[in-house]
Every structure is written in structure tokens, then in C-alpha cells.
Amino acid sequence: MRLLDHLVSLGLSKGNARKALKTGKVAVRNVPTADAGRDVEPSEVTYNVNAPRLTPGRHVAVVYRDEHLAVVYKPSGMLSVAAPKRGRDENLVSWMAKRFGAAHPVHRIDEPTSGLMMVALNTQTQMALKKLLEKHEVERRYLALVHGKFPNGDLTFDSFLGRDERTGRRCSVDKDAGGRRSRTYARRVARLGRVSLIEAKLETGRTHQVRIHLSEAGFPVLADKLYKGKNDGTMRRLALHAAVLGFKHPATSADMRFDAGLPDDMERFRREIVDSRRKDVR
């Protein structure tokens, strides 16, 4: 059912429901959303009047936290960690450190990419999580809107990523040129006319790995100006989202899995295309 309808069924007026959505009081799978029109499973929706006030999709949201680690939602446009000559720009790890006293990076996602990140709250956990990554024992899945009609079935992209000697841009190179082995598994979730919604699962986690593999296969991510992706309608930011994060908790051995689904802007864009195609059929 529509999220707005569910909130009304809880006793909120439409006006109060929309206000709650805009201020971060409503979450789907623990991730705040302002998208009243998205379809939801009521059991996955949380309405908490005491939740921190924030703007969904624009501000950081802590999805899970204990004494060892946190899983955090990073908005598009925010750095994961501090970057050279970007000292004044806020980054996720520093944001966490200011609020919780300590924070240590484990991995990162690109600045224009949104989604889930692990942050260690002590150095022991940081080392343990990094070992899980090195052994490929962390599940990382991305959702992307890409140009073109992505084929049905599972595809594997396997190459060595490095830099082009002429342009300095990251790309697939010969093994002898110093590239690092990189493997991505991808499948089509939905075909949306000129655009496809795909899921990409990482085996390795090289810089720009998903973006490069998809672009080189002829399916650049929407609004990825670096790798041949163009803006498309209202989708003007990189249409790439770290949706799933799964791992074994290094302190408790509990199986942890978080699924953020599509962020508001990508979900609205998906609906726009679906609605437009329905109108064309009529």
C-alpha cells in the first residue's frame, strides 16, 4: 500500500503525515523517507515522533548502532571520509566522530553515491571489519538506474582496474599494466523503456568499480558524467545507491543484514517512467 495511506490508517491526518515524512519521523527499514507515494509493506514502516529531526535524503541517518559499530545512511553529495583540499567539506566519518566520540573508516562509497556504510566505533572493530572485506565476507549490493536495455539474466564483469596512461581516468586495463582484479555481478531488476533498474553485487570493492564496469558494457549509470552517463529528466545526480550491507558482527558473531531499498529520488524517477509509459499505452 502507499506509505501515505498507511500513515493515515495509523490515525494521522494527511497533513500531519506529510509533515512527519518531511522531518524524518517516518522510516522504511530504518531509513527515513519523505516519499509519501512509495509502495510499502506496513510491517517495515516505523513512525517515531521522537526521532531526530532531519531531511530524508539530504542528511545522515544512523540505521543501526551499538558499542562496536554503526551502519549509517550517507546522502548523495557527502564525502565518506576526509579528502585532500576538502577540509571544510563535511564527511560521514567526521560527522559520526562528533556525535559519538570516536569513528573509524572501514570502507567508503563515492561522494555522489547514496546508501549504507559501516563505521567502526573503535580500532579493534575497524580491523576486524576490514579483514571481513579482505576475505570477501561482506555482502554489498548496489541499485542503479542505467541507460539502455540491460539484458535479462545474470552477468559477470571481471577485469583489472587501473588508470588510462593518456587521460588518467580509471578504466579496465591489462593485468600487466598494474590493474587490480575487480569483479561485479549484475542482474536486471526492471526494464523501464530507455532505462533499466539493475542490481550490482560486489565481490571486490575498487574505486568506481560498478560505474566503470557498467559504462564499459554500454550501460552507463544515469547522470554519471565521468563515465558517459547523461542526465535524464529529473534524475540529475548519480543514480547509484548502496542498498544492501550484510556481514557477521565481529564481536557477537550475529548475522547482520540491512536493506535500504531505493532512495526517494530514484524511486520517484522510477515511478515517473512507469506512469509515463502507462499514459503512452492509453
Same-domain check for residues 38 and 67: no
What gap in Å lies between CA 270 and CA 235, rounded to an integer?
Answer: 10
* 164 and 213 assigned to the same domain: yes
Least confident window among 3-17, 80-94, 255-269: 80-94
Model confidence band, residue 95 (pLDDT cutoffs 50, 70, 90): very high
What are the φ/ψ torsions at residue 200 (nearest 5 degrees)?
-120, 125
Q: Cell 550490482 appears where?
A: 200
Statement to judge: residues 21 and 79 lie in one domain: no
The answer to whether the beta carbons of residues 145 and 221 sit under 8 Å apart is yes
Cα–Cα distances in Å, from 232 out to 146, 222, 242, 278, 281?
10, 7, 20, 18, 21
In this structure, the answer to whether residues 138 and 271 fall within a common structural domain is yes
Residues of the chain with pLDDT > 90, as a percent, come to 85
Q: What is the pLDDT of residue 242?
A: 98
User: Tell me, what CATH number does 63's domain have?
Assistant: 3.30.2350.10
Residue 86 domain boundaries? 57-281
**pLDDT higher than 90, residue 87:** no
Query: Residue 236 and residue 238: Cα distance in Å, rounded?
Result: 7
Mark whether 29 and 89 lie in a shared domain: no
Please indicate, yes or no, whether residues 238 and 171 belong to a single structural domain of this protein.
yes
Same domain flag for 146 and 217: yes
Same domain, residue pair 6 and 103: no
Provide the pLDDT confidence category of residue 178 given band limits of 50, 70 and 90. Answer: confident
Same domain as 213, residue 85: yes
Picking from 12, 32, 51, the residue at the C-terminal end of a domain is 51
- The residue-averaged pLDDT of 171-193 equals 91
pLDDT in tens, 195-246: 999 999 999 999 999 999 999 999 999 999 999 888 887 888 999 999 999 9
Q: Is the confidence at residue 4, as pLDDT, over 70? A: yes
3-state SS, residue 96: helix
Give the pLDDT score at 277: 66
The more confident residue out of 174 and 258 is 258
3-class state of residue 98 by DSSP: helix
On average, the pLDDT of the chain sits at 94
Region 14-38: mean pLDDT is 97
- Among 5-19, 163-177, 234-248, name the one with the lowest average pLDDT: 163-177
**Residue 259 · residue 244 · CB < 8 Å:** yes
- Report the pLDDT averaged over residues 26-47: 96
Residues 45 and 88 in one domain: no
The string of DSSP codes covering 69-90 is EEEEEEPTT-BSS--TT-TTS-
- Cβ contacts of residue 114 below 8 Å, gap of 6+? 57, 73, 74, 75, 76, 240, 241, 242, 263
Tell me which of 5, 66, 89, 110 is the catalytic residue.
110
Question: Could you tell me the pLDDT band of residue 253, with boundaries at 50, 70 and 90?
Answer: very high
Assess whether pLDDT exceeds 60 at residue 281: no
Please state, for a pLDDT cut of 70, what percent of the chain lies above it: 98
Indicate which CATH number applies to the domain containing 3: 3.10.290.10
Residue 266 has pLDDT above 60, yes or no: yes
Assess whether 39 carries a catalytic annotation.
no
Average pLDDT (72-78) is 97
pLDDT tens, 120-161? 999 999 999 999 999 999 999 999 999 999 999 999 999 999
Into how many domains does the chain fold?
2
Same domain, 117 and 84: yes
Say yes or no: 193 and 72 in one domain: yes
Is residue 185 within 8 Å of 203, Cβ to Cβ?
yes
pLDDT band at 280 (very low <50, low <70, confident <90, very high): low
Q: What is the mean pLDDT of residues 95-120?
A: 96
